[in-house]
């Protein structure tokens, strides 16, 4: 059905915040047959914490914050001196602070609300302090602006804060952690306290440096300093709105900045305030540049009322909130209900995907004893593809052979962190004869006697091989006197008889971005059959990612579904019993009472079930959060704990999740790299009597498909804006007798 002839539609491409789990949690799932042991422990040197399953990791939480912090907070809207937003055109409406105002020489804070348009040049200066006397050192002072971080074209533009004190030899620049959102209001603040320079966006500290020190300038050069907003003399001008600029002679702390952002003003702070510009009378404190004008009030600024268009939430500026939040029990955009429904309902999201995996087979130096046989590899490969091919996922095998007796002959502990060996607490996952029973930790009460003459006598004496005798004064870790692969229990010795999986992965150092790597661990713990890395783990695409399998449960009859199960975890699937048996408390956001895409395993087509190994519904038991009878439970599902004879399928929701994570995280494991899909249809964000504005969601990965530099913007108009025009559109609403449809009907 035709709509009116040529309505224009502007394409506003809104960028999404980073999805990466920069500060992600390290979580390991395993298909243990007996017990779950996932103690809380801090991984040294990383900001990662091991959390019990069912608990959310940080990235999901962090990503939800910006929406709450959007400008529309009550305090801000009601603040009497909120002032008005002015619009800088980028052409001759920059402002210079009048000479009478004393610009802070030392500590300072500059903060403001801004709504930058897309397609700014790099760099763009929003505000800056310049030196008009010393042309040779024109970079003295500081700048707040927008700069492309990528070297190719104008990609990945971010807010930056740069500073060069009069004494410094070079400039220091810090950038925000993610690209800016065009046409979205953001509160930006930069502070300097003589030691630290910091950049805050929407109240969050996103950059810090201590490269500069001391005052920004001295008394002597005071008269030379010029503060400008909206651009600079080099025409690096800013296009977009600015509101409520504050300049302080102190480095404000994060808490104060958040209060400023919310519009609260503490009268005690006011002596530190140099300027609070609300743009009601800009001519009082500011001068225009030569032949320039004052920036005009923003057209329709703040007054525009948005409306809901489908799933996206449109804010008061008529701009979609394109951050697709996961439910509180989820982690990423692939846990968003609407996204997964689209993957579920639209076949083209689930088009066949071929994925590479690599089996790491370690041999002894004589090449006699592989970790897994060719027969195992081929049988498992066949079974793997049989399991996944009905769901349009196929696996491409490669085998990486490593010849290394020292690795082959050592015990590899799949789930024991090496730092726990000999830490004076018995850790069952580290308890094995070849670790000397957790270096004695699991032998409490056992006291061996070691005659002094045997210590360090060049023979490894088992009765002396304990930590308190320094492992027989080194005898038992000396490869010249003993078979260290049997006797060396000292975790700090390079000859120790065991390794943890992380050490093995470090030694092998195999790229995790090209293949799903499959490692083997001859675990101490016969119960442990596999460990996987979640797609949101920060290791997922590194040499520390991949899955770890017990070779006895790999390519052996009746045990081939273990790998299917572990790969399910790698592709973002939880255990079907997560919502009942892997929750922290009955208040846990993941508790699954009814099948739901927002709780438990985030799949509505797997009924809630407790952890259970049988091939039938579990008998009524004592569930902590209300004793219930679980019926039609998904015991046949690969993500249950039933054995191979029972498991045979994934559900449609699970398949949607796996395809989504393959698009979101694992593009590089697939030989045919495609542009990441856009998970949502465009939404109507604005309508006038003869036009509507649609907004497109960004691609699911947040990364736009790379084209050759230079060709990206050949369709752009001035100012790097891309316009798209619709020539026809349709509506399910009936046609009015006049034959004309209003935009209302095009929603
Ligand atoms: Ca221990
Ligand atoms: Ca000895
Ligand atoms: Ca479920
Ligand atoms: Zn599992």
Looking up residue 91, the CATH number of its domain turns out to be 2.60.120.200
Active-site residue numbers? 566
List pLDDT tens digits, range 443-473.
876 667 888 898 889 999 988 888 888 889 9
Task: Select from 297, 314, 343 the last residue of a domain.
Answer: 297
List pLDDT tens digits, range 561-596.
999 999 999 999 999 999 999 998 888 999 998 999
Residue 88 lies in a domain: yes
Whether the predicted pLDDT of 393 surpasses 80 = yes
- Mean pLDDT, residues 170-193 taken together: 91
How many residues appear in the chain?
Answer: 747
Task: Select from 496, 517, 542 the last residue of a domain.
Answer: 496
Q: Which residue has the higher pLDDT, 227 or 183?
A: 227
Per-residue confidence (pLDDT) for residue 415, from 0 to 100: 81
Per-residue confidence (pLDDT) for residue 29, from 0 to 100: 35
Residue 153 lies in a domain: yes
Residue 546 lies in a domain: no
Question: Do residues 282 and 154 both lie within one domain?
Answer: yes
The Cα-based distances of 644 to 52, 638, 648 in angstroms read 26, 8, 8
Question: Do residues 422 and 275 both lie within one domain?
Answer: no
For the record, the structure tokens of 177 come out as 């952690």
| CA 418 to centroid of ligand 1, rounded, Å | 9
Question: Do residues 149 and 274 both lie within one domain?
Answer: yes
- Angle at the Cα of 71 (from 283 to 249), degrees rounded to 5? 50
Q: Which residue has the higher pLDDT, 393 or 725?
A: 393
Residue 630 near residue 617 (C-beta atoms within 8 A): yes
Residue 457 lies in a domain: yes
Whether the predicted pLDDT of 382 surpasses 50 = yes
Residue 630 lies in a domain: no
Strands 124-131 and 141-148, by their bridges, are antiparallel
- Closest-lying ligand to the alpha carbon of 413? 1
Residue 421 lies in a domain: yes
Q: Does the model's ipTM exceed the 0.85 cut?
A: no
Residue 663 lies in a domain: no
The chain-wide mean pLDDT, for the chain, equals: 80
Per-residue confidence (pLDDT) for residue 736, from 0 to 100: 56
- Range in 28-32, 224-228, 624-628, 632-636 the model is least confident about: 28-32
Question: Do residues 131 and 275 both lie within one domain?
Answer: yes
Task: Select from 496, 516, 540 the last residue of a domain.
Answer: 496
| CA 339 to centroid of ligand 3, rounded, Å | 17
Number of domains in the chain: 2
pLDDT > 70: what percent of the chain? 77
179 Cβ neighbours under 8 A, 6+ residues apart: 15, 149, 156, 157, 158
Question: Do residues 433 and 289 both lie within one domain?
Answer: no
Whether the predicted pLDDT of 510 surpasses 70 = yes
- The domain of 489 spans 411-496
Question: Do residues 290 and 424 both lie within one domain?
Answer: no
Q: Report the C-alpha gap between 660 and 475 in whole angstroms.
A: 54
List pLDDT tens digits, range 36-60.
222 222 222 222 222 222 222 323 2
Q: Which of 280, 273, 216, 227 is nearest to 97 (CA)?
A: 227
Per-residue confidence (pLDDT) for residue 565, from 0 to 100: 96
Residue 270 lies in a domain: yes
- Closest-lying ligand to the alpha carbon of 471? 2
- Mean pLDDT, residues 333-352 taken together: 93
Whether the predicted pLDDT of 303 surpasses 60 = no
| CA 408 to centroid of ligand 2, rounded, Å | 27
List pLDDT tens digits, range 681-728.
887 777 777 777 777 788 888 766 555 555 555 666 665 566 666 565
Per-residue confidence (pLDDT) for residue 381, from 0 to 100: 98
Q: Report the C-alpha gap between 687 and 685 in whole angstroms.
A: 7
Residues lining ion ligand 4 (Cβ < 5 A) are 29, 31
| CA 562 to centroid of ligand 4, rounded, Å | 9
Residue 312 near residue 320 (C-beta atoms within 8 A): yes
- Range in 234-243, 442-451, 524-533, 562-571 the model is least confident about: 524-533
């Amino acid at each position: 059905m035709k709509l009116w002839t040529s309505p224009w539609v502007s394409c506003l491409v809104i960028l999404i915040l980073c999805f990466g789990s920069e500060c992600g949690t390290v979580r390991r799932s395993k298909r243990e047959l007996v017990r779950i042991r996932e103690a809380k422990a801090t991984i040294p040197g990383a900001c990662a914490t091991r959390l019990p399953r069912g608990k959310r990791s940080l990235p999901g939480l962090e990503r939800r914050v910006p929406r709450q912090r959007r400008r529309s907070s009550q305090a801000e809207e009601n603040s009497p001196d909120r002032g008005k937003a002015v619009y800088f055109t980028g052409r001759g409406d920059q402002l210079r602070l009048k000479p009478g105002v004393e610009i802070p020489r030392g500590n300072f804070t500059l903060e403001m609300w801004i709504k930058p348009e897309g397609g700014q040049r790099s760099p763009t200066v929003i505000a800056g302090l310049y030196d008009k006397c010393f042309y040779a050192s024109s970079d003295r002072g500081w700048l707040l602006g927008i700069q492309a971080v990528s070297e190719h074209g104008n990609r990945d533009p971010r807010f930056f804060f740069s500073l060069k004190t009069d004494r410094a030899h070079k400039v220091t620049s810090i950038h925000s952690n993610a690209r800016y959102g065009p046409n979205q209001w953001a509160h930006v603040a930069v502070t300097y306290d003589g030691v630290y320079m910091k950049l805050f966006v929407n109240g969050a500290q996103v950059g810090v440096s201590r490269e500069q020190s001391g005052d920004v300038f001295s008394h002597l050069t005071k008269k030379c300093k010029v503060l400008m907003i909206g651009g600079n003399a080099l025409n690096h001008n800013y296009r977009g709105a600015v509101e409520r600029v504050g300049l302080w002679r102190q480095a404000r702390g994060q808490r104060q900045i958040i209060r400023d952002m919310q519009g609260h003003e503490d009268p005690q702070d006011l002596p530190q305030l140099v300027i609070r510009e609300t743009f009601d009378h800009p001519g009082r404190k500011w001068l225009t540049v030569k032949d320039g004008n004052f920036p005009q009030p923003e057209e329709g600024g703040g007054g525009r009322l948005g409306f809901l268009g489908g799933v996206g939430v449109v804010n008061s500026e008529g701009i979609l909130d394109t951050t697709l939040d996961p439910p509180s029990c989820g982690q990423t955009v692939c846990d968003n209900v609407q996204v997964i429904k689209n993957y579920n309902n639209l076949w083209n999201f689930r088009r066949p995907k071929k994925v590479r995996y690599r089996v790491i087979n370690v041999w002894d130096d004589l090449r006699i004893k592989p970790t897994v046989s060719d027969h195992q590899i081929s049988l498992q490969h066949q079974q793997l593809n049989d399991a996944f091919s009905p769901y349009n996922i196929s696996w491409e095998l490669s085998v990486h052979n490593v010849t290394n007796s020292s690795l082959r002959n050592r015990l590899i502990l799949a789930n024991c962190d090496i730092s726990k060996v000999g830490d004076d607490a018995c850790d069952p996952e580290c308890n094995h004869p070849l670790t000397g029973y957790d270096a004695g930790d699991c032998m409490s009460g056992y006291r061996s006697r070691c005659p002094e003459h045997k210590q360090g006598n060049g023979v490894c004496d088992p009765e002396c091989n304990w930590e308190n005798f320094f492992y027989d004064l080194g005898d038992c870790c000396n490869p010249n006197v003993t078979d260290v692969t049997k006797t060396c229990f000292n975790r700090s010795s390079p000859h120790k008889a065991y390794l943890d999986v992380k050490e093995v992965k470090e030694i092998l150092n195999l790229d995790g971005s090209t293949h799903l790597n499959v490692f083997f661990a001859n675990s101490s713990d016969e119960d442990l059959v596999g460990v996987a890395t979640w797609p949101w783990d920060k290791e997922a695409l590194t040499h520390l990612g991949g899955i770890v399998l017990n070779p006895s449960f790999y390519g052996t009859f009746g045990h081939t579904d273990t790998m299917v199960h572990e790969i399910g975890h790698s592709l973002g699937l939880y255990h079907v019993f997560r919502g009942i048996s892997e929750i922290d408390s009955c208040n846990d956001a993941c508790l699954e009472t009814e099948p739901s895409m927002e709780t438990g395993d985030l799949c509505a087509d797997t009924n809630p079930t407790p952890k259970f190994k049988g091939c039938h519904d579990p008998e009524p038991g004592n569930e902590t959060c209300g004793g219930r009878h679980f019926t039609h439970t998904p015991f046949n599902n690969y993500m249950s704990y039933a054995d191979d004879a029972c498991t045979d399928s994934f559900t449609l929701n699970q398949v949607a999740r796996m395809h989504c994570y393959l698009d979101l995280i694992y593009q590089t494991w697939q030989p045919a790299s495609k542009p990441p899909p856009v998970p949502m249809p465009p939404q109507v964000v604005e309508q006038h009597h003869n036009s509507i504005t649609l907004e497109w969601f960004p691609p699911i990965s947040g990364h736009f498909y790379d084209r050759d530099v230079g060709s990206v913007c050949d369709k752009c108009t001035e100012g790097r804006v891309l316009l798209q025009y619709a020539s026809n559109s349709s509506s399910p609403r009936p046609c009015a007798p006049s034959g004309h449809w209003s935009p209302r009907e095009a929603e």
